[in-house]
Amino acid sequence: MFLDTANIEEIKAAYSLGVISGVTTNPSLLAKEGKSLDAAIREITAVVDGPISVEAVSQEAPAIIAEAEKLASFHPNIVVKIPVNAEGLKAVKVLSERKVKTNVTLVFSVNQALLAALAGATYVSPFVGRLDDIGQDGMQLVAEMLEIYRNYSFPTQVIAASIRHPLHVAIAAKIGADIATIPYKVLTQMLNHPLTTLGIEKFLADWAKVSDAS
């Protein structure tokens, strides 16, 4: 499970639970933090010992490649997010040959996912919630991608992204997504259950009676 945020306090809190093995960011998430890219990457890499996705914003393949190599030079754990389009695919192909890890993002169809794997993407991120938002079944895309990647033994890993609620995480795990990247709020929702909270309160109240009696 990865955390989908650029907020360092959320990353510290989530990472301390011991269940998060990477972080994904995007330009929107980074913009919310109001920090320089260097500062944000420095903070995150200091906390998380695992893949950290940072998106390239260049539009032409040569510029994407140059930007990706610069991002990758910041830290060995950096994975470069690249949107799936013609220029992005060309860049992913070159970067995979140069051993720069990539996360092909904004994936909304199995055909885009197939092309990304053929180009040599390390990870591919289908945006489940954004498909659900337009009345399609985002998790069905994840399932079909997994089937295709397994048919051909692609090493590309599927990151279920744009996760909006705990049910998304549960289904992603059930169908065998390699990774789900989740907002901090969803991590909290996964952990908390009113019956657990009530149960602890009741046990503590009853235990206080036992202690009083002794």
Contact residues for ligand G3P, defined by CB under 6 A: 4, 24, 26, 127, 129-130, 161-162, 181
Closest to ligand G3P by CB, 185 or 193: 185
Closest to ligand G3P by CB, 94 or 132: 132
Identify residue 143 by its one-letter amino acid code: A
Angstrom distance (rounded) from CA 81 to CA 184 = 20
Residues 6+ apart with CB under 8 A from 178: 123, 157, 158, 159
Whether 81 is catalytic is yes
Per annotation, catalytic residue among 81, 90, 185, 209 = 81
Angstrom distance (rounded) from CA 135 to CA 157 = 26
Closest to ligand G3P by CB, 4 or 10: 4
Structure tokens at 175: 């169908």
Structure tokens at 18: 């011991």
Taking the complex as a whole, the smallest distance from the CB of residue 106 to ligand G3P amounts, in Å, to 8
Taking the complex as a whole, the smallest distance from the CB of residue 214 to ligand G3P amounts, in Å, to 52
CB 198 within 8 A of CB 176: no
Closest to ligand G3P by CB, 93 or 130: 130
Taking the complex as a whole, the smallest distance from the CB of residue 208 to ligand G3P amounts, in Å, to 43
The CB-nearest residue to ligand G3P is: 162
Largest alpha-carbon pair distance within the chain? 76
Q: Phi and psi for 211 in degrees, rounded to 5?
A: -65, -40
Taking the complex as a whole, the smallest distance from the CB of residue 122 to ligand G3P amounts, in Å, to 16
**Residues that are catalytic:** 81
